[in-house]
């Protein structure tokens, strides 16, 4: 698969390395542009690209940036994605710790629904409940009894199937599928 990742922090970089090692083509983008992460991406087995290029000709997109930065992504970035295209949100909302306050979420809107409203498309929640160290170090081959399981949550079963395969490729397994 060809995978676009927006976010070159701990989770984005760990996933880039895992997916590259599994044989996938990975395009890694950040807010400062490809030159700022060219060497980093190369060391991970990925290609540094612009945010717009991370969405072009890929089979899945992973957004691994702080939740409050989602609105800073270019408007219309995902306007032309095909149906059942997996867009993953790895983030969690940490108001006052890392994120600026998001009034809609504080008023009760589900975090993933808020992200969907910002992006203009459905999202799959996965890789948001594991620390990057565990993600990097605790992946195991299929069948290993010590293998860690993650939930995959979203409404689009086809997009979830793509992500279930990528969770497996990262050395993890799917614990359960949650339909919101």
* For residue 174, pLDDT beyond 80: no
Q: Delineate the domains of the chain, giving CATH numbers in brackets.
A: 2-128 (3.40.50.720)
Residue 85 near residue 60 (C-beta atoms within 8 A):
yes
User: 96 pLDDT band (50/70/90 cuts)?
Assistant: confident
Q: Is the pTM of this model over 0.85?
A: yes
* Region 59-80 average pLDDT: 95
Relative to beta strand 25-29, strand 47-48 is parallel
Q: pLDDT of 14-54, one tens digit each?
A: 999 999 999 999 999 999 999 999 999 999 999 999 999 99
């Amino acid at each position: 698969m060809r995978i676009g990742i927006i976010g070159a922090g701990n989770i984005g970089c760990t996933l880039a390395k895992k997916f590259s090692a599994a044989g996938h083509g990975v395009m890694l983008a950040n807010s400062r542009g490809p030159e700022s992460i060219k060497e980093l991406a190369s060391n991970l087995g990925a290609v540094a690209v612009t945010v717009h290029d991370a969405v072009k000709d890929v089979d899945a997109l992973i957004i691994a940036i702080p939740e409050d930065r989602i609105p800073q992504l270019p408007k219309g970035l995902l306007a032309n994605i095909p149906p059942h295209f997996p867009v993953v949100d790895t983030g969690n909302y940490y108001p006052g710790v890392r994120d600026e306050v998001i009034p809609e979420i504080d008023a009760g809107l589900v975090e993933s629904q808020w992200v969907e409203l910002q992006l203009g498309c459905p999202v799959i929640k996965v890789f948001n409940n594991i620390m990057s160290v565990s993600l990097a170090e605790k992946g195991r081959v299929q069948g290993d009894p010590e293998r860690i399981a993650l939930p995959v949550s979203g409404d689009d079963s086809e997009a979830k199937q793509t992500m279930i395969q990528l969770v497996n490729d990262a050395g993890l397994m799917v614990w359960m599928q949650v339909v919101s």
